[in-house]
Chain A
């Protein structure tokens, strides 16, 4: 056994060593939390660099692919927007033809006074044909009956049935189209006005800068016919 003095000194030294160990552990743990690369060896750094390089390449490829996808989607989006615009325009045009929307534009108004009840469905149909021949785009009678492709005319006791709607005299026929051509078509010798006059009715033609037609036709879904899509 060593002397008591030396023993105490050794005891203090071992305490100091334990303190040094605790100190080192604390410092090392704190250092690890910072987690930089300064503690790594060269080989480990090379490995790390390699794996990061590989990840970088992989991610680069992914970026390329995703960029290509995005560009594709963008262009297809643009073209589908274009198609939507076209389809809307066409739908609006067709809606005017089908009589499912109100329309306005230049045109003429024909007023027929028929005190002797001589105007019949055939005469009105003739008139409509004549107007269509002159480029009429939208036609309505008395502001309530829109005349479209499917419209039919029937004689009735009190007037004329236009696709089921009863229209009574005096008749007003609103027509949208080229006003000058329509007026000419209505007033030329042997034309619409003459025909009414020959029967014993009176017809007047007014050229208007703007005619608004709010009467709508019922849009019927075709029951038997289907569109054939040809390639």
Chain B
């Protein structure tokens, strides 16, 4: 229930406040979103397997976002920002697909 309220509140706030992302944060936001999505999908899978833990979710969410942001930062410093971002997105994408596949197998048995 609380997560659903959170989603609605977040979307509404984003639509109505219409903020602009500060320039220094702009390279990190897309990667951070993908990392957070990975955590959310993982949480959904755990929820389906009845072993969801808020503590694990919070920690994985925050660590995912921080590590992803750090990797982008590091890549920018090393001059391989775009390549490293692509790598991070690929890895997170694979994880999201794997988790989504697990959820699918659990729900549809397929």
A residues at B contact (CB < 8 Å): 2, 7, 10-28, 30-31, 38-39, 41, 43-44
Most buried by A among B3, B18, B61: B3
Give the distance in Å from the alpha carbon of A102 to the alpha carbon of B56 in the complex: 108
Give the distance in Å from the alpha carbon of A44 to the alpha carbon of B36 in the complex: 26
Give the distance in Å from the alpha carbon of A28 to the alpha carbon of B15 in the complex: 11
Say yes or no: A25 contacts B33, CB within 8 Å: yes
Instruction: Tell me which of B10, B30, B54 contacts A26 (CB under 8 A).
Output: B10
Residue B14 at the chain A interface, CB threshold 8 Å: yes
Say yes or no: B14 contacts A22, CB within 8 Å: yes
**Chain B binding surface, main DSSP class:** helix
Residue in A closest to B76 when the chains form the complex, CB atoms = A41
Instruction: Tell me which of B23, B27, B36, B55 contacts A21 (CB under 8 A).
Output: B36
Say yes or no: B54 contacts A18, CB within 8 Å: no
Residues of A within 8 A of B13 (CB): 19, 23, 26
Give the distance in Å from the alpha carbon of A26 to the alpha carbon of B15 in the complex: 7
Say yes or no: A19 contacts B6, CB within 8 Å: yes
Chain A nearest CB: distance from B37 CB in Å? 7
Say yes or no: A30 contacts B18, CB within 8 Å: yes
Chain A nearest CB: distance from B35 CB in Å? 10
Say yes or no: A7 contacts B14, CB within 8 Å: no
Give the distance in Å from the alpha carbon of A39 to the alpha carbon of B5 in the complex: 30
Instruction: Tell me which of B11, B27, B37, B58 contacts A39 (CB under 8 A).
Output: B27
Residue in B closest to A32 when the chains form the complex, CB atoms = B30
Say yes or no: A14 contacts B3, CB within 8 Å: yes
Say yes or no: A24 contacts B54, CB within 8 Å: no
Most buried by A among B30, B32, B54, B58: B54
Report if A14-B58 is in contact (Cβ < 8 Å); known contacts: A24-B29, A25-B33: yes
Residues of B within 8 A of A13 (CB): 54, 58
Say yes or no: B6 contacts A22, CB within 8 Å: yes
Give the distance in Å from the alpha carbon of A171 to the alpha carbon of B81 in the complex: 109
Residues of A within 8 A of B10 (CB): 18-26
Say yes or no: A19 contacts B61, CB within 8 Å: no
Say yes or no: A2 contacts B36, CB within 8 Å: no
